[in-house]
Amino acid sequence: AAGVIQSPRHLIKEKRETATLKCYPIPRHDTVYWYQQGPGQDPQFLISFYEKMQSDKGSIPDRFSAQQFSDYHSELNMSSLELGDSALYFCASSSNQGAPGTDTQYFGPGTRLTVL
Amino acid sequence: GQQLNQSPQSMFIQEGEDVSMNCTSSSIFNTWLWYKQDPGEGPVLLIALYKAGELTSNGRLTAQFGITRKDSFLNISASIPSDVGIYFCAGQLLGGGTSYGKLTFGQGTILTVHP
């Protein structure tokens, strides 16, 4: 079965540079979630989109922005990168029908971002 | 914000032993999920629980959604070396509002299985 695709899998950037992470959800999934996982930490919710509209926002820095496109893929744009942005970034997708049992999230393999 | 307390933080067991881990929350969730994560990889869904009191099995794994909707446990029976990894519980609250759909994770349980 098709899974969530994320690219790139690894990314190395310098401080103050920008980065773009891409997420391709499971076919027919209309909702995308972004999470950040620091070393030894649990994933923390950043932002989500449902039908191309932002549906929820978590602890996402103002330097980060994201959007969901007409084909439902999503991109997370990160500017003025800081050392502390080094982390695993996961995208999860779901088919959201607004009720328990209909929004099970499946995660992609992640993008490991290293800021030097 | 909502927080999940997951315990134990780590477990070292012998192959063949049973394992139990749990999560508690100060607030209610209407969905509980258990994920397994290998180093550098994405969390993989193990079991999803949608109703208070629900007990669900997936092979050697069994999980329950607490009656109060504030807790859940995961049991692994007859552990094998490939069970090694980090297990996360996650709570989800659906139904509108600013917490719509996002997952709140526990701190994780690191499982080591000795052959």
A99·B98 Cβ contact <8 A: no
CB atoms within 10 A of CB A93: 28
* A-B contacts (CB, under 8 Å): 77
Residue in chain B nearest A101 by alpha carbon: B50
Nearest to A106 among B31, B45, B108 (CB): B45
pLDDT in tens, A50-108: 889 998 899 899 999 999 999 999 999 999 999 999 999 999 999 876 555 667 899 99
For B30, residues 6+ apart whose C-beta sits below 8 A from its C-beta are: A100, B50, B69, B92, B93, B94, B95
* For residue B93, pLDDT beyond 90: no
Residue in chain A nearest B97 by alpha carbon: A56
**B94: which chain A residues are within 8 Å (Cβ-Cβ)?**
98-100, 103
If 0-12 CB within 10 Å is exposed, 13-18 middle and 19+ buried, where does residue A59 land?
A: exposed
B101·A55 Cβ contact <8 A: yes
pLDDT in tens, B10-36: 999 999 999 999 999 998 988 999 999
**B31: which chain A residues are within 8 Å (Cβ-Cβ)?**
100-101, 103
